Structure 1
């Protein structure tokens, strides 16, 4: 064979290989898939398309921020879907490699996007990019959530009431803690008068609510870990109404709180914040984030915060707080992993508590105890969050968290007035030492399948947690002291009861199916939870309980703006720690809740609202046995029912609002009165001035109000706690790289009380001032 013939044969072989390669590229670019995207922002549509197509779409926020995308459904290629989403936007998608598309602005001389099929022949060097987060928020309004379903889901498609406090809400209010932020959500109550936790016990729809951090549950005695996080650590706070045992395992039927912390990201963040306020309060925080490598795959986050206050409004020693949280993340086309560490040390004064007397709460302007009464806590946490895309649409998700916590409590409690006088009080010294270690783990598999026009998102997994708990409560001798400024000695303990260490283990097996069929969405949940408790005391018996917890929800999109929904859920909570006099453990508390409502997405989805009717019932509750102290008896079933309304978003350019209202009442067989306010409403609104002379200036205004509710005094007689309203205001200026905010809490200096009272009632602060400034460098 001559050299020329050999050369021609080689050229033909190379051409065949090249054509085959181009044909493969063409097939990949034109592979068809079922697309089902609602009308929403362009950024969110591109994000969902990236996940469904298992590709990366780099969409800079500066290009997509002011564009909306039409509803898109049908069997389309990725190229066709991109062309339709970008039509009329002046943007185009450039293909960089087989799994990467970059959104760019069209050249000025070009009026239409060039077809992507032609671009497929020019493959540029590989770059590492990621799709925008599906949980993108629009100011106060949240578009979607990965909390309720463990997958990024538009909130309109979730057949359950879920409220999200976005970073813009948290920043605009300058909230001091998570519990401060939760007052924006309907049917939320924080009880601090009868608790040994620094931040109080949250209730939703009248029932104790479990608290999660980044989707992993924490023990009730460790709820302070997420609830006491400083504002700089928070990404968002989510509240899901009703039971959801695939998230929390055993629980009551009211709802769940999820606190989401900040994570590593490629977009750079360099923010320094300083704040000063009433009673010598000083706070400084630093938030840093960005890429470690040039390709953007390796990222980091570093958050640190420190606070010091001389005293609180009534004279207790002020708060001391230090928090540091470094984390690192890695993300490529198929893998995302985040590993982080948290260290939080704080000293928090006790909640100012007043004894409820027949004439009303005892008024005091000084501590009803010693100024150094309070909580000392220290927590150390390690966590990881790992996601891996497997074959096809199969995705594996694993996350775990370890918390080691210590809390020391020391305080005086005003038990009663000395007989025959109202100027001398009887005080009991109380202490509590808690040492706790908890491990939480969640592993699941997610898969998307299509059966004709019906789309399924299947989820199956197992959640496991182990909580080792040691407690040593103590009581000192009673002391008599003059009011209103008692002088009390240091607490000397005489009676210390060391409770044997116990270990609580919970395992939950769960499956979920999200069904989408045209405008119809169906959510099916089924969980099987197992709970075990063992004690370190030799010879002590172990306890266990298990139960099924099913749930179903249906949502129907009547239009792009209106969705109606309904759900029914089931929950259970073991009660073997409440022994009966006959030695038998009470049956688990069983909860059943039903809800129906409507969700609105108005003004191009920038204003969202949810209105709901609900009824949550609990069977087998226990109460203290009146004839056998130290034991418990089962009481009749009871239920809370009511109506809720929540609204968040932007009404007009520059005008943002978050508002809520809830009415609820207690239903019991003997018509007992409830100890929660029946009517609670909140409003917070901000306005950024739009005229050029005032550009950058803005103001905020808020009011939180409730009606009166019932409480029992020291003689077990019923009395009403008066209704009240609190008004807040702020004035701020925002420039490109810095901002300053002056906040005033309780503008009119009203006398305020907590939302729950039983013999004791919480006293809340009068007028407070805060001045804070942030600088982006």
Structure 2
């Protein structure tokens, strides 16, 4: 939360900017303790180079004040609902203000050493002072971000905490990264995060899963676990947070690789009026809208409406017919003490089958089209009503409650394949899968802050309840021979009935009581301690109970560098249907982590190094071409992660990562995790006024080879691979356009765990033009 107060009561905020230090990642990491003692420089005396994107006027002014090292005072009512055209190039302070405020009816007046004050143009001409009339304002939501680097997160501690102080690996993918990279799937974004790999091995519709450090992860929406992937277009996402290792004690049912928290756009007081259109390869076309603000006669009533619809002829493998619609209305009542929010997410569509191949002669077969029928597809529908409450009890304590009910139904028409012979011959099995899923999450907790001697405590304590159920029916036809290189197979019709199999897991109901304390001692030591009591009733047996402690310690070596270590134990109650049983026993795990975090002192740029080790008592492995799982003994995973994210210079921004993972599965298990993974995305904005608004982006994503499961016919290997993306963008005033090319060299790329009868493929070369207009 940010607060602006009357200028007479509080000196204007001064945001210092120091000289840029450009060096290699590791060299800079070693030098950071010395960098932390750099001194603030004076305000910019003459022309300087700025790169501030178009957007809400409040955000543009915040960034400019930081970059120019000046103090700025204004009445928030003056800038409400106003938009800035941005700034790109060399400007003096006065010229920069003139450009930023163009078309707003405002002007910036110098107050000598006191900085600047914003006034209406008419008031400035009359010599009316605006600084004495400032009133307090509070802005709800995510703290302002500087391009690619975020400074705080609530995911690990439950309170808004500087990332450098959190004794755990955490990565934030900001809204600016989302805008620049044009992601079509969540994993398009997660490629930027060290240690994350795609695992589209889940059967049917749930074919988007993510491994972190070799183990599974959980998807959250605004901190609430929906249990399965909810399809959300990019316009509906504010940012994405990734927390490695075991979750926070306050986060409910946990996973062992980490969590992906998708933060949705929510009702807000600041006005948003945006419409987008896109066009791309294979007849892709879409339009979307984002509208937010307050009711005309009641500023306490906030709203947001997001609508998106997309159509395409098909995907890069030749499967036909994509259409998706997303609707998300929400409203909130916020009087500064009480905030009540109600919302609904609705998504439905038709998805062509994800591209995949099989092994022929011990290696993935190269196909010229669909491996089965081009009309194979999945129809789906998802709904999620949700509720959130925040009640401020006093200056230091608040109660927070949330609840959501997520329902999903899908029907899939597709084929399973048997192993292929050297000529590509294989047996085909047509099937239709009908599945319905539902889960309910309820959470209530107290948050507070208090001091004990030299320590400040941010505490969270509460209760959570989780319930889920899955019901699946699979109807399959008879096996028949075909050939993967020239498939001539009919569409799996809706009247398949010879073999019907019904699968459902026992309804799962679990509860958790938790408490967590994030303690700051002498402003340099930070301790995160938590404990939870997990309860899982067993059908026909005793209730499983487990205490799961968590302890992390962080020390600020300097203003720019911290060291941390963490230990935690986990207990996961997630219970998909398992082979030969209705349910599986809970998973217990242990995680150790240590690392360093760095914040550059002069600009929004951060880096991190993490060492980790995770071990589980057993693991749930998806069975190829089946909705079932099998319980297998589990080994351990250990490794190293590096990341660099933020602004290098006025023109350059980057997000980069490298991961080394030594994953040791149990005996007789295939190791599907690449040992090396690296990513680099960089954006360059032209600073020459003649090219104002133009820029370029480029990225490369690399991973080493890994093993595939031959299913008894001899294991095989997926070779190392690299993908290259490029983009050209233009942003000016209220309009922006981005032309991107994904997989520029049209390489054949493989995704996730590979088995002989199903090796998923990344899309081939894809071109996408996205335009946006804010009004």
Residue matched to 1:464: 465
Cα 1:634–1:770, aligned 2, differ >3 Å: closer, same or farther? closer
Cα 1:769–1:482, aligned 2, differ >3 Å: closer, same or farther? same
Residue matched to 1:771: 769
Deviation at 1:196, TM superposition (A): 2.5
Larger radius of gyration: 1
Does structure 2 retain, via aligned residues, the 8 Å contact 1:586–1:634? Answer: no
Residue matched to 1:568: 567
Cα 1:257–1:533, aligned 2, differ >3 Å: closer, same or farther? farther
Deviation at 1:714, TM superposition (A): 5.1
Does structure 1 retain, via aligned residues, the 8 Å contact 2:76–2:137? Answer: no
| 1:385 maps to 2:388 | yes
Distance 2:444 2:344 in 1: 20
Cα 1:174–1:605, aligned 2, differ >3 Å: closer, same or farther? same
Residue matched to 2:661: 664
Distance 2:169 2:241 in 1: 11
Residue matched to 2:397: 394
Q: Deviations over 1:509-530 (max 9, x none)?
A: 1101010012111101111122
Cα 1:505–1:161, aligned 2, differ >3 Å: closer, same or farther? same
Distance 1:123 1:733 in 2: 36
Residue matched to 2:612: 614
Residue matched to 1:369: 372
Distance 2:582 2:382 in 1: 36
| 1:189 maps to 2:190 | no
Distance 1:131 1:145 in 2: 16
Cα 1:239–1:700, aligned 2, differ >3 Å: closer, same or farther? same
Cα 1:580–1:695, aligned 2, differ >3 Å: closer, same or farther? closer
Say which of 389, 405, 410 aligns to 2:408.
405
Residue matched to 2:432: 431
Runs (5+) with no aligned partner, structure 1 = 1-28, 31-36, 42-58, 70-85, 97-103, 115-121, 535-540
Moved more, 489-498 or 747-756: 489-498
Q: Deviations over 1:566-613 (max 9, x none)?
A: 1111112348777798x9987532111111111111153510111100
Residue matched to 2:700: 703
Residue matched to 1:592: 590
Distance 1:198 1:588 in 2: 21
Residue matched to 2:120: none
Deviation at 1:179, TM superposition (A): 2.1
Residue matched to 1:12: none
| 1:509 maps to 2:513 | yes
Does structure 2 retain, via aligned residues, the 8 Å contact 1:355–1:415? Answer: no
Residue matched to 2:280: 277
Cα 1:699–1:500, aligned 2, differ >3 Å: closer, same or farther? closer
Please give the root-mean-square deviation of Cα atoms over the aligned residues, in Å. Answer: 3.4
| 1:204 maps to 2:212 | yes
Cα 1:482–1:580, aligned 2, differ >3 Å: closer, same or farther? closer
Distance 1:166 1:40 in 2: 23
Does structure 1 retain, via aligned residues, the 8 Å contact 2:255–2:572? Answer: yes
Moved more, 329-338 or 247-256: 247-256
Secondary structure at 1:416 match in 2: coil
Does structure 1 retain, via aligned residues, the 8 Å contact 2:357–2:761? Answer: yes
Residue matched to 1:8: none
Distance 1:611 1:761 in 2: 32
Cα 1:95–1:266, aligned 2, differ >3 Å: closer, same or farther? closer
Does structure 2 retain, via aligned residues, the 8 Å contact 1:470–1:502? Answer: no
Deviation at 1:556, TM superposition (A): 0.8
Higher relative contact order (CA 8 A, sep 6+): 2
Distance 1:769 1:39 in 2: 41
Say which of 517, 528, 534 aligns to 1:529.
534
Cα 1:378–1:533, aligned 2, differ >3 Å: closer, same or farther? farther
Cα 1:343–1:578, aligned 2, differ >3 Å: closer, same or farther? closer
Secondary structure at 1:740 match in 2: strand
Deviation at 1:194, TM superposition (A): 4.7
Alignment of 1:255-266 (within 5 A): 255-266=258-269
Secondary structure at 1:693 match in 2: helix
Distance 1:473 1:241 in 2: 35
Secondary structure at 1:333 match in 2: coil
Cα 1:543–1:471, aligned 2, differ >3 Å: closer, same or farther? farther
User: What is the TM-score when the length of structure 1 is the normalising length?
Assistant: 0.81
Q: Deviations over 1:648-703 (max 9, x none)?
A: 10000021101111110123575965111110111111111001111111000000
Cα 1:296–1:130, aligned 2, differ >3 Å: closer, same or farther? farther
Say which of 740, 744, 749 aligns to 1:747.
744
Distance 2:770 2:576 in 1: 46
Secondary structure at 1:150 match in 2: coil
Does structure 2 retain, via aligned residues, the 8 Å contact 1:657–1:683? Answer: yes
| 1:496 maps to 2:500 | yes
Alignment of 1:245-324 (within 5 A): 246-293=249-296, 296-324=299-327
Deviation at 1:211, TM superposition (A): 0.9
Distance 2:407 2:342 in 1: 17
Moved more, 241-250 or 612-621: 241-250
Distance 2:406 2:750 in 1: 33
| 1:150 maps to 2:149 | no
Distance 2:203 2:730 in 1: 39
Residue matched to 1:83: none
Say which of 168, 178, 184 aligns to 1:160.
168
Residue matched to 2:556: 557
Cα 1:559–1:472, aligned 2, differ >3 Å: closer, same or farther? same
Cα 1:707–1:622, aligned 2, differ >3 Å: closer, same or farther? closer
Cα 1:438–1:634, aligned 2, differ >3 Å: closer, same or farther? closer
Cα 1:623–1:369, aligned 2, differ >3 Å: closer, same or farther? closer
Say which of 673, 676, 682 aligns to 1:676.
673
Deviation at 1:716, TM superposition (A): 3.3
Does structure 1 retain, via aligned residues, the 8 Å contact 2:75–2:133? Answer: no
Deviation at 1:200, TM superposition (A): 1.9
| 1:357 maps to 2:360 | yes
Deviation at 1:248, TM superposition (A): 4.3
Cα 1:566–1:67, aligned 2, differ >3 Å: closer, same or farther? farther
Deviation at 1:483, TM superposition (A): 3.6
Q: Deviations over 1:102-129 (max 9, x none)?
A: xx99964564499xxxxxxx99999783
Does structure 1 retain, via aligned residues, the 8 Å contact 2:473–2:500? Answer: yes
Does structure 1 retain, via aligned residues, the 8 Å contact 2:678–2:701? Answer: yes
Distance 1:721 1:63 in 2: 50
Distance 1:236 1:483 in 2: 41
Deviation at 1:136, TM superposition (A): 2.3
Alignment of 1:463-482 (within 5 A): 463-482=464-483
Residue matched to 1:732: 729
Residue matched to 1:486: 487
Moved more, 141-150 or 353-362: 353-362
Does structure 1 retain, via aligned residues, the 8 Å contact 2:219–2:229? Answer: no
Does structure 1 retain, via aligned residues, the 8 Å contact 2:660–2:675? Answer: yes
